[in-house]
Amino acid sequence: VLYHASAWGFIAMFWWTDRYLPVTVPNFDQKFNLTYFSLRTIEQYVIFSIPAFLFVSGYFIAVATGRRQSTISWKLVGARIKTLIIPYIIWSVVMLLLEFVQGRAFNPAEILLILFTGRATEAFYFVPLLIQLYILAPFLVLLAKKNWKLLLLVAFLIEFSIRGMGYLFTLGIDSPGLDQLAVLTNAWFFPARIFWFVMGIVVGFHLKSFREALNRFRWALAAVTIFLLILGIVEWEFLLQRSGEVWIAPYETMVDGFYALSFILAFLAFEELKLPFSKRFENLGLKSYGIYLSHTLVIILASKIVYRFAPQILGYQIIFQPLLIFLGLGVPLVLMEIMNRSPARKYYVYLFG
Partner 1 sequence: MDKTQILLDYVKDELARGRAPNLKATDDLLNAGILDSLGIFQMVTFIEKQFGIQVPDEDVVFDNFYSVEALINYLQDLEES
Query: Nearer Cβ to partner 1, position 19 or 206?
Result: 206
Q: Give the integer Cα–Cα distance in Å for 202 and 164.
A: 24
Among 83, 117, 132, 186, binds partner 1 (CB under 8 A): 83
Q: Give the integer Cα–Cα distance in Å for 153 and 150.
A: 5
Instruction: From 67-75, 105-113, 150-158, 325-333, give the range in contact with partner 1 by CB under 8 A.
Output: 67-75
Q: Does 349 bind partner 1 (CB under 8 A)?
A: yes
Which 8-state DSSP code applies to residue 275? P
Q: Does 286 bind partner 1 (CB under 8 A)?
A: yes
Site for partner 1 in 243-282 (CB under 8 A): 271, 282
The distance of closest approach from Cβ of residue 310 to partner 1 in the complex, given in angstroms and rounded to an integer, is: 36
Q: Give me the phi and psi of 244, to 5 degrees please.
A: 80, 5
Q: Give the integer Cα–Cα distance in Å for 220 and 262.
A: 10
Instruction: From 78-86, 188-196, 253-261, 321-329, give the range in contact with partner 1 by CB under 8 A.
Output: 78-86
Q: Does 60 bind partner 1 (CB under 8 A)?
A: yes
Among 29, 33, 82, 322, binds partner 1 (CB under 8 A): 82
Contact 184, 192 (CB under 8 A): yes
The distance of closest approach from Cβ of residue 225 to partner 1 in the complex, given in angstroms and rounded to an integer, is: 22
DSSP string, 60-113: HHHHHHTTT-SS--HHHHHHHHHHHHHHHHHHHHHHHHHHHHTT----HHHHHH
Query: Nearer Cβ to partner 1, position 158 or 202?
Result: 202
Q: Does 136 bind partner 1 (CB under 8 A)?
A: no
Query: Nearer Cβ to partner 1, position 93 or 207?
Result: 207
Among 59, 125, 259, 263, binds partner 1 (CB under 8 A): 59
Residues that bind partner 1 (rule: CB under 8 A) add up to a total of: 32
Among 17, 44, 65, 92, binds partner 1 (CB under 8 A): 65
Among 22, 24, 68, 277, binds partner 1 (CB under 8 A): 68
Evaluate the omega torsion of the peptide bond into residue 26 and state whether it is cis, within 30 degrees of 0. Answer: yes
- The neighbour count for residue 270, using CB atoms within 10 Å, is 16
Among 29, 32, 33, 69, binds partner 1 (CB under 8 A): 69
Q: Which residue blocks in the chain are alpha helix, DSSP H?
A: 2-14, 34-45, 49-65, 74-101, 108-117, 126-170, 178-181, 194-205, 207-215, 218-243, 254-269, 278-286, 288-309, 317-340, 348-352
Contact 348, 340 (CB under 8 A): yes
Q: Give the integer Cα–Cα distance in Å for 214 and 221.
A: 8
Instruction: From 26-34, 65-73, 150-158, 256-264, give the range in contact with partner 1 by CB under 8 A.
Output: 65-73
Instruction: From 79-87, 160-168, 170-178, 299-307, give the range in contact with partner 1 by CB under 8 A.
Output: 79-87
Q: Does 76 bind partner 1 (CB under 8 A)?
A: yes
Residue 123, CA distances (Å) to 129, 201, 226 in order? 11, 24, 25
Q: Does 33 bind partner 1 (CB under 8 A)?
A: no
Q: Give the integer Cα–Cα distance in Å for 37 and 158.
A: 32
Write out the residues near partner 1 by the rule CB under 8 A. 56-57, 59-60, 62-69, 73, 75-76, 79-80, 82-83, 207-208, 271, 282, 285-286, 288-289, 340, 345-346, 348-349
